[in-house]
Chain A
Amino acid sequence: MSEVVLHCEKITQRFSGLIAVSDVTMDIYQNEIVGVIGPNGAGKTTLFNDITGIYRPTEGTVTFAGEDITGLAPHKITAKGMTRTFQNIRLFDNMMVLDNVLVGLHSANKASIVESMLRLPRDRREEKESLRRAEEVLELTGLYEYRYNYANSLPYGLQRRLEIARALASRPKLILLDEPAAGMNEQETSELLVFIQQLKKMGNTIILIEHDMRLVMNLCDRIYVLDHGMLIANGTPDEVRSNPQVITAYLGEEV
């Protein structure tokens, strides 16, 4: 198998006595799409927050691209090449679509406030380069014609897409998608499926949390199943589907 991008070693997250994530170990390999599924309250988003640095795991370590990133501030982790989207869309509502993507390129650039104030060469060069990259990403995601619209004026499906575009812009080593299909209709979901497959073809590595089983089963190379904060299964979609423990956890739900 190819190189390990992300390695979580026995991550545990406690909130004043309550255990949200317990002893989770997982590996993500290069150019994989990995799904994290589980019933509501299984600790999926908490796990994401542990990985991206919003929470500091109570126990365990997160290794990203060979480097220990446990407890690092979120913006530092992003700068190392890990980006994410949010369960409830968190766009910069009152900024242009284009500017949203440009913010996504923040960590790719270095110009300081003073350099920007005086429009010094490095700032100008980076601005030009960023604009080019942002437009490229917008074209790729089919948002190019909306580039000068305000982010909150986009229809729901496109807002989700813009969030992914924003995460994609800085060419991250790993993208975490938190329920990208939430609130989408069938049409939008199947478009999303094609889109994420396209991302994989381009060489991206993706972890996604998702409730839409059809999407997960069709999309993911491997799946981790969480229940009550614990890892109860992992494997290919077929393996997971036939795992008795998973069926128990999802009793009554179609798997």
Chain B
Amino acid sequence: MFFQQFINGLAVGSIYALVAVGYSMVYGVLKLINFANNAFMVAGAFLIVLLYSWWHVPYWLTVILSLFLCGAGAVFMERASLNPIRKKGAPGISALICTVGYSTVITNLLLYIFGSQTIAVPSFSTFSTFTLLGAVIDPFTIIILATALVMMILLTWLTYGTKYGEAMRAISQNSVATQLMGVNVNRIITITFFIGTVCAALSGIMIGIYYSAVDTTMSFTIGIKAFAAAILGGIGILHGSLVGGLVVGLLETFVAGYISAGYKDAIAFVILILVLIIRPSGLFGKQTQQKV
């Protein structure tokens, strides 16, 4: 029982972690909570349904197209709306509300196309479960874990081992100075949005396959849990998102298993609020003092 819960928790947790990374990357650079991140997450899963089940595109191409389209959507959002808002020097909350607007548009567009009932997301292969230490394990869980881990390693390398990452971190310190150093800030921001959203879309696809279902309300429920994970780990910090995601996933599964399934969905919110009150910078963030 315990081991079973543990494995399930890890799987869900790694998915949260990937969505959390999407929040973290954008926040790290822009100090913006990109609320549309969660809409792109479900869009990723829905696009699989559209392309594979309805239009019969080969599966591998479906995945690539889905990720690319979501990334492109986020880039559009950044270029068409967020960039102009930033240029106007509007307060940060405007950009947040703008992403809330985009999230509403996207989820309702999906609702319009696919309807409100849950839709089965096809998997690329069928797996037969196996038993380990008394727990029934879906091999897909292992794929999720592996994907999350690989993505994390890739992203860490990208942020700390490449020129792009260097520029990204520089922008988060001081965007104007970075611009003056000859870095094309807008391009870096665009790339960040693209990568962050691809992570979210990828996890959306995995959620869809894992639960073999997707519906638009997941955008909100899972999206905000992932946000809680990002906050818990310290938003803007990649390994923080991973740990945060796993903690939220595990706690949630254990609460569902041992306490009450009904309140399972409330756990993430409670964590979110508690972390923000007690330690707003999260587990791995540095506490900063406000300057007058």
Contacts and interface: CB of A to CB of B under 8 A. Distances in A.
Chains A and B touch each other in the complex, with CB atoms below 8 Å apart: yes
Contacts of A55: 292
Contacts of B292: 49, 54-55
A29 B289 CA distance: 34
Nearest to B292: A54
Contacts of A15: 289
Contacts, number: 4
Interface string B256-292: 0000000000000000000000000000000001001
Interface string A54-88: 11000000000000000000000000000000000
Nearest to A90: B292
Contacts of B289: 15
B211 to A, nearest CB: 48
Interface in A2-38: 15
B90 to A, nearest CB: 14
Interface of chain B, helix or strand or loop or mixed?
loop
Interface residues of A, number: 4
A78 B17 CA distance: 47
A15 B291 CA distance: 11
Nearest to A48: B292
A128 to B, nearest CB: 35
A54 B289 CA distance: 13
Contacts of A49: 292
A47 to B, nearest CB: 13
A13 to B, nearest CB: 12
Nearest to A16: B289
Interface string A184-220: 0000000000000000000000000000000000000
A55 B291 CA distance: 10
Nearest to B289: A15
B89 to A, nearest CB: 13
B292 to A, nearest CB: 5
B94 to A, nearest CB: 15
A49 B290 CA distance: 13
A15 B290 CA distance: 12
A170 to B, nearest CB: 21
A254 B292 CA distance: 30
B288 to A, nearest CB: 11
Interface in B158-196: none
A136 B292 CA distance: 31
A237 B289 CA distance: 37
A55 B290 CA distance: 11
A54 B292 CA distance: 8
B290 to A, nearest CB: 10
B255 to A, nearest CB: 39
A63 B289 CA distance: 26
Nearest to A46: B292
A20 to B, nearest CB: 12
Interface of B: 289, 292
4 contacts: A15-B289, A49-B292, A54-B292, A55-B292
Q: Which 4 A-B pairs have the closest CB atoms?
A: A54-B292, A49-B292, A15-B289, A55-B292
